[in-house]
Structure 1
Amino acid sequence: MRLTRHRRWMVPVVAAAAVGLALTGCTGDIAEQDAAEVDCADYEQYGTFDGAEVTASGTILDLEADRLVESWADFETCTGISIDYQGSSEFEAQIAVLAEGGNATDIGFVPQPGLMNRLAAGGWLIPASEAVEANTDEFWSEDWKKYGTYEDTFYGAPLMASIKGYVWYSPAEFEENGYEIPATLDELKTLSEQIAEDKGSPPWCVGLESGDATGWPATDWIEDYMLRMHGPDVYDQWVTHEIPFNDPRVAEAFDAVGEYLKSEEMVNAGIGDVSTLVTEAFQTAGLPIIDGECSLHHQASFYETFWNPEGGDEVEVASDGDVFGFLTPPANADDPLSVTGGGEIVVAFRDAEEVEAVRAYLSSDTWANNRVSLGGVISANTGVDPENASSELLVQSIEILQDPETTFRFDGSDLMPGAVGADSFWKGIVAWVTGEETQQVLDTIEASWPAS
């Protein structure tokens, strides 16, 4: 799934809702003074509002919430719109209840297309304005626009993005031992076996613990293997239930991943045995690479944020630094580049000019460049200059997303109905890595798929 800068991106602690107090609002003499210090040319198109306020919510927390608030500070100053953001790790569980009761925020940053579809089906969402749709048509691919569309109505533009299938490693260890970046899934398995033999310990470190969302990091493994082993058409059929969850091709992907996640020889380096997969937090699971105890860690581009925990030594993320990442390779060396990823859809629950002005700004290349320049994230917005990204890996990630030859597919569990993607799939993964057989797990997940 996805902090994703939603649950898969941020440590689920107290939200930084009040971070922007010093940045919000533009009234009176203070507003005039602030505006004089900001070049408002890029914001004239959004209009000016006298003391308008727009509320927003999502799963973006902590440092990323701080940067989010900073990304619209000049917009607030120039338009007079105050944006009050509230982050919560319970957003996904609560937003439909709040919407049904008429208590949702004006804007929601929804990290799952499946959840957006549920909100749209409930009749709670406001269709996107012409300005938002025009930006989306200009700056995103048709696939990305599709994720914000329900029953032919366009409800929201993408915000940020992530690439899920990175394998993090130590460049120094690879150079010292002559390890090469694998070009196929078979070569990845061979590399893993070679590292296990050389070190006499498992090569992979894995953490699946994420509170109520425990299990999601392993769904990312399954989705990567489904896309690479069976291609985008079968992947699409799987996430839309055109083929059942217990289809033999899904079992094949599970079993291929199981050669790592269910093997004492492959996991869990620097942490413990296989049983520790479900108790180790996803935020800390890759850190044994820094100490040389682990060699490989599968996690998204957003994991860059976690390499430098507060109070720790500075870790350089670079191809010649302390840690870097390569994409999970294809099944065959000549297969086209295919990646899974995630992001947020910006939806609205209130129909107002100031709300649509905010949404238009968030769908623009101006906002995307502002946010990417603040560090730690990427965007699939084609108007973003990749060089604005904060690291070599994030520059590479943006270039991958912008490449028209890249086959991109949204995180599968995020596309599935919530009863599967955010429930039985996660729970099934936990049962699976702790000993349950593949077919039994797949049959249970299949039985949970909603009838309509």
Structure 2
Amino acid sequence: MMRRRTTLLTSCTALALALGATACGSGEPVSAGGGDKALSGQTVTVAGVWSGTEQKNFQKVLDAFTAKTGAKTQFMSTGDNVSTVVGSKIEGGNAPDVVMVPQVGVLQQFAEEGWLEPLSDTAQQSIDAGFASVWRTYGSVDDTLYGLYFKAAHKSTVWYSPDALAQAGVEAPSTYDEMLKAGRTVSDSGLAAFAVAGQDGWTLTDWFENVYLSQAGPEKYDALATHELKWTDPSVVEALTTLGKLFKDKQLIAGGQKAALNTDFPGSVEKVFGPEPEAGMVYEGDFVAGVAHDQFGRTIGEDANFFPFPAVDGGTAPVVSGGDAAVVLKDGKNAKAGMKLVEFLATPEAAAVWAGAGGFLSPNKKLDLGAYGDDVTRATAESLVGAGDSVRFDMSDQAPAAFGGTKGTGEWKLLQDFLRDPSDPKATAARLEAAAAKAYRD
């Protein structure tokens, strides 16, 4: 699943990293220099989904750990199927020491398999002091804390072309109904309102989750995420009905439903920020900024910007997040040094390294916002941290993969079917419940 993107390293932060100075505008150290080199001669192996720019930026964090402790690091990219790759490594006697787990469901699976070490007292103290308690909850299984959420995504952001909204004479909306009204005005001015990436089912789960969290509230969201509430509940039907009004409105979606079902996530960003725009807005997480900047040369904050996903039907504006949790494997050859790495990742010092490199949000409230390289990223980070315990983790990432995370089946496929024909929300809710019941039972 495409969840993350990157921006540029600012000269101020680069200088701070190089010289061991403080983060721009903060009193917190960025460099990991000056450590006691207590782990010299040891190697920590780390596995995660990241590749390309993300892997390079994470390597900067690992290098800072090396500078501080003397430990060498080795990173292995797993691809999206983390559980299968890590399971095979454990069976082969070659388990990594630390895994960056991208889904709550996978962390829970690892814990239930007995693969994980509980986090050390030092790591737990840092988490209690620097993170909203909701992040401890998502990193815990049966009240035991196994995972540190080092990198987060803010998935309640609607990205837009300032030129498109200005040409239509509309401003960023504060409610869902205002957003649809603004979208119709944008459409009247010559562009479709939204580019929708219906070819990627995960984007549709994100649409649903934001509508549902705002409309139904956090308690029902939590119950639905754990399947304590059935998908046939009236609140689900209501959210699908709300979403269906957007999906079936040909004035709002670039190319209509058929085109949306043939548009992947990068393609949806291109339809707004590419050389030949077709739409004024695209909903997805903070990682839209990286695609708009890296692939289409947009200057974030000037010709690409965002507004928070607006409140639905008088509810509270939602803050849905995703994230990558660092866990320590019992079978790793150097689990003790791996735990030292997790302790380092729990500090604002470690988060500041990647924050300066771009393409990163930290849920650590002790990280000075001055560490981020641009105002828009600072704004998204402030929104995420400021939401505190009202943040809710991506619902599909909490579900069994057969329901919430597999192409061509479960929630992904059923919401694609709903995009194709949103005429019967109640029937779609029944199909979702049948698929969820089977996945949770299996």
TM-score range, shorter chain: 0.7 to 0.9
Matched, 1:4 2:8: no
The verdict on how the C-alpha distance between 1:134 and 1:407 changes in structure 2, with shifts beyond 3 A counting, is same
What is the CA distance between 1:99 and its match in structure 2?
5.8
* Counterparts of 2:82 and 2:412, CA distance in 1: 15
Matched, 1:388 2:371: yes
The verdict on how the C-alpha distance between 1:451 and 1:260 changes in structure 2, with shifts beyond 3 A counting, is same
SS at structure 2 position matched to 1:226: helix
* Counterparts of 2:374 and 2:245, CA distance in 1: 32
* Counterparts of 2:226 and 2:388, CA distance in 1: 24
SS at structure 1 position matched to 2:287: helix
What is the CA distance between 1:226 and its match in structure 2?
0.5
The verdict on how the C-alpha distance between 1:357 and 1:177 changes in structure 2, with shifts beyond 3 A counting, is same
Matches within 5 A, 1:88-167: 88-92=78-82, 94-95=84-85, 97-98=87-88, 101=91, 102-167=93-158
Moved over 4 A (4+): 36-47
Query: 1:338 is aligned with what amino acid?
Result: P
Matched, 1:72 2:57: no
Normalising by structure 2, what TM-score? Answer: 0.86
What is the CA distance between 1:375 and its match in structure 2?
1.0
Q: Is the 8 A contact 1:228 1:331 kept in 2?
A: yes
What is the CA distance between 1:81 and its match in structure 2?
1.2
Q: Is the 8 A contact 1:202 1:266 kept in 2?
A: yes
Query: 2:429 is aligned with what amino acid?
Result: L
Aligned to 1:249: 235
1:196-239 Cα offsets, whole Å, 9 max, x none, are: 2332x531112233xxxx30001000000001111111111111
Aligned to 2:166: 175
Aligned to 2:13: none
Q: Is the 8 A contact 1:185 1:331 kept in 2?
A: yes
Matched, 1:345 2:325: yes
The verdict on how the C-alpha distance between 1:83 and 1:287 changes in structure 2, with shifts beyond 3 A counting, is same
Deviates more, 1:45-54 or 1:409-418: 45-54
* Counterparts of 1:231 and 1:37, CA distance in 2: 47
Query: 1:261 is aligned with what amino acid?
Result: F
Query: 2:217 is aligned with what amino acid?
Result: G
Question: Higher RCO, 1 or 2 (CA under 8 Å, sep at least 6)?
Answer: 2
* Counterparts of 1:103 and 1:222, CA distance in 2: 40
SS at structure 1 position matched to 2:384: helix
What is the CA distance between 1:323 and its match in structure 2?
1.0
1:376-401 Cα offsets, whole Å, 9 max, x none, are: 21111011111221222210111112
The verdict on how the C-alpha distance between 1:337 and 1:258 changes in structure 2, with shifts beyond 3 A counting, is closer
Matched, 1:49 2:39: yes
Aligned to 1:22: none
Give the aligned CA root-mean-square deviation in angstroms: 2.5
The verdict on how the C-alpha distance between 1:3 and 1:137 changes in structure 2, with shifts beyond 3 A counting, is farther
Aligned to 1:419: 402
1:102-158 Cα offsets, whole Å, 9 max, x none, are: 543221111111111011111111111111111111110110111110011110111
Aligned to 2:9: none
SS at structure 1 position matched to 2:278: coil
Deviates more, 1:50-59 or 1:361-370: 50-59
Aligned to 2:311: 330
Normalising by structure 1, what TM-score? Answer: 0.84
The verdict on how the C-alpha distance between 1:383 and 1:255 changes in structure 2, with shifts beyond 3 A counting, is same
Aligned to 1:30: none
Among 259, 281, 286, the alignment partner of 1:296 is 281
Q: Is the 8 A contact 1:167 1:299 kept in 2?
A: yes
